[in-house]
Amino acid sequence: MQILEKVSAILQSFPLFSANQEFQVYPVAGAMNESHDQSYLDRKYFIDNYKYNCPFCNRKSITYKVTETINFNWSNNREVFGYLVACGGDSCRQTSFHLSDRNIKIYGTEFFSFEENKKTNYISNLDDLDSLFFYHQPTTFFTLDNRINEKIRKLVSEAEGCAKMNYLVGASGCLRKAIYELLELEEVVKEDKDGRELDYGDRIKVLKSKYPLVPPEYFDALANIQGMTSEQLHEGDWKPWTQDEFHFLVETAKEVLTEVYVRPQEKVSVLQKILSLKPQKDEKKGIVEKTAQNQ
């Protein structure tokens, strides 16, 4: 469809849209930064109003279609909106489910706009479409790099899912468990060489010394988490974190996981790429030169 027809169809589908209303067009996010690193897009669920990273076929930046919408009452005073989204990949076509507190309007099969404080927000201008949703099935687990241990990825994803639904006890519990799993996976000892028990903070310090190239501030932040004990099973009462505390700690934990399991491997693959470009010695030429020298 031509762009003018599309705009006119959009205007007609919203009868409240006044013809005199200003129609501002913003540049699409990222369009001006084509040459910069955009790998952060691979860590999103929805990239924009028509491309996403598919949790089924794992293809990045593939088209999707919103195929169905529903709304229901979550509670007496909360209405929730659900969206079925189908992958555009010919060999995939699988459908995922997404919940939002916003009534997102659909144009054709694309997320189009939503109202906020009597202002229309257009999805194509949004930097962060993911922020509109509080629940996804499949979860966001695939948006963490798959070089990170699967058990830890699932826990971090579950923690983030709980936090989005404001279930902070669940969010705190899952993230704490993810940190303990990291200590186990890294085989961080529970006792020092004299047999004295190491507390949680000391174990994080052991991990910090194992990875001197990772900024120490990340480990310090994890070491200072209140109420973590040396033994996961023997944890006493602990307070769940606030949203702000959780957000800070989950981003810190994700950065530690990326620094430990992803960045070193990225460096190795760049090195291999560079080495493969190194000109090979011409063996025949070498033999001829040797023979000539010997004569």
Considering only 66-74, 80-88, 137-145, 243-251, which stretch makes contact with Zn ion by CB under 5 A?
80-88
Nearer to Zn ion, 87 or 182 (CB): 87
CB 153, min distance to Zn ion, A: 19
- Contacts with Zn ion, 27-66, as mask; x by CB under 5 A: ---------------------------x-xx---------
Residue count, binding to Zn ion (CB under 5 A): 6
Tokens of 97: 């489910």
Token pair recorded at residue 107: 């144009």
How many angstroms separate the CA atoms of 243 and 228, rounded? 18
Ramachandran assignment for 117, one of left (phi > 0), alpha (psi -120 to 50 degrees), beta (any other)? left
CB of 61 to Zn ion, least distance (A): 11
Q: What is the smallest separation between the CB atom of 89 and Zn ion, expressed in angstroms?
A: 4
Name which of 50 and 200 has its Cβ closer to Zn ion.
50
Give strand pairing partners of 103. none
Per DSSP, helices labelled H in the chain are 3-13, 150-164, 168-185, 200-210, 216-223, 243-261, 263-276, 283-294
State the nearest-atom distance from the C-beta of 135 to Zn ion, in Å: 19
Smallest distance, Zn ion to C-beta of residue 65, A: 11
Q: Examine residue 92 and tell whether it contacts Zn ion (CB under 5 A).
A: yes
Q: Which is nearer to Zn ion, 85 or 174 (CB)?
A: 85
Nearest to 111 by CA among 124, 125, 92: 124
Q: Which tokens sit at 227?
A: 């109420």
Nearer to Zn ion, 92 or 188 (CB): 92
Minimum CB distance to Zn ion, residue 164 (Å) = 23
| Least spacing, CB of residue 16 vs Zn ion, in Å | 36
Quote the least distance from Cβ 53 to Zn ion, whole Å: 9
Choose between 30 and 89: whose C-beta lies nearer to Zn ion: 89
Give yes or no for residue 89 binding Zn ion (CB under 5 A).
yes
CB closer to Zn ion, 92 vs 262: 92
d(CA 99, CA 78): 13
Query: Rule CB under 5 A: is residue 88 a binding residue for Zn ion?
Result: no
Closer Cβ to Zn ion, 86 or 106, answer by number = 86
Residue 46 DSSP symbol: B
Among 85, 86, 87, 250, binds Zn ion (CB under 5 A): 87
Q: 46-77: buried (b, 16+ CB within 10 Å) or exposed (e) per residue?
A: bbbbbbbbbbeeeeeebebbbeeeeeeeeeee
Contacts 24+ apart (CB under 8 A), 152-159: 152/178, 152/181, 152/182, 152/185, 152/257, 155/181, 156/250, 156/253, 156/254, 156/257, 159/246, 159/250
Nearer CB in complex with Zn ion: 129/256: 129
Residues of the shown chain interacting with Zn ion in the complex, contacts defined by CB under 5 A: 54, 56-57, 87, 89, 92
